[in-house]
Structure 1
Amino acid sequence: MTLQSQFEQAMADSKTLAERPDNMTLLRLYALYKQGSEGDAKGERPGFTDMIGRAKWDAWDALKGITKEDAMQQYVDLVTDLKG
């Protein structure tokens, strides 16, 4: 199974977890997904009034420089851990 197909399966699995992860884990999942699918954060950092968007962008931007492949593998590993 290729890393891309594992990543796609993990994306599907993340939507059917038995328990909703805590907010920090959700941010980590989001950031790894974005880094794995798009690479380094792009665009403007959301303004102060968009606190959720800003937190998501900051989490993604914190992964700057991590390869798409490494981010995909970390995403797969995290979802696997969450599935138990």
Structure 2
Amino acid sequence: MDKMPKWADVVLIPLISLLLAAILSALVIWAIGESPSKALWIMIDGALGSKYAWGYTLYYATNFIFTGLAVSVAFHARMFNIGGEGQAML
């Protein structure tokens, strides 16, 4: 199998993943009888609709950001860190 170009690995794969996740989410929301566009608006407004919401979004995202940074150090050293989730729990 040929290796993908760097731009595809960095840009295309994450975009395709986000698109598939959005489509699957919209299908599930539609299947339960609700409007996918209204649900999307509620999620965005709830996470980013006010200064209070921004604060909570950043508060909860901080743990994921620092866990990702910690794991990235091990990956950069070509090692696999299996303890990231446990460290985040503490």
- For the superposition of Structure 1 and Structure 2, which TM-score range results when normalised by the shorter chain? 0.3 to 0.5
Answer 1 or 2: higher relative contact order, Cα 8 Å, separation at least 6: 1
If the length of structure 1 is used for normalisation, what is the TM-score? 0.35
More helix by share: 2
